[in-house]
Structure 1
Amino acid sequence: MPENSVASVTFGSHDDIATLMGKVGQALDVEFELRDSEYHGGDYYLSRSGRGVFVIRWNRELDEPAEPDRPELSTLLYASIPVGDVPSVTQAMALLQLETLARLASHGNPQGS
Structure 2
Amino acid sequence: MTRMYLTFVGDTDLNASATAVGRALGLEFTERESLFLGGDYFLARPPWGEVIVQHNDDQGEPAEPAYPDAPTVITVTTDAGQEPHVLAALRDSGFTQVVT
In structure 1, list runs of 5 or more residues that go unmatched: 104-113
Paired AA for residue 81 in structure 1? T
1:54 corresponds, among 48, 51, 56, to: 51
Which residue number corresponds to residue 63 of structure 1? 60
4+ residue runs over 2 A deviation: none
In structure 2, list runs of 5 or more residues that go unmatched: none
CA shift for structure 1 position 68 = 1.0
Paired AA for residue 6 in structure 2? V
**Do residues 32 (structure 1) and 29 (structure 2) align?**
yes
2:97 corresponds, among 79, 84, 100, to: 100
Report the Cα distance in structure 1 between the residues aligned to 2:42 and 2:95, rounded to whole angstroms: 17
CA shift for structure 1 position 12 = 0.5
Quick check: which has more Rg, 1 or 2? 1
- Corresponding residue pairs, total: 100
Report the Cα distance in structure 1 between the residues aligned to 2:11 and 2:44, rounded to whole angstroms: 20
**Do residues 81 (structure 1) and 92 (structure 2) align?**
no
State the TM-score, normalized to the length of structure 1. 0.84
Report the Cα distance in structure 2 between the residues aligned to 1:6 and 1:93, rounded to whole angstroms: 18
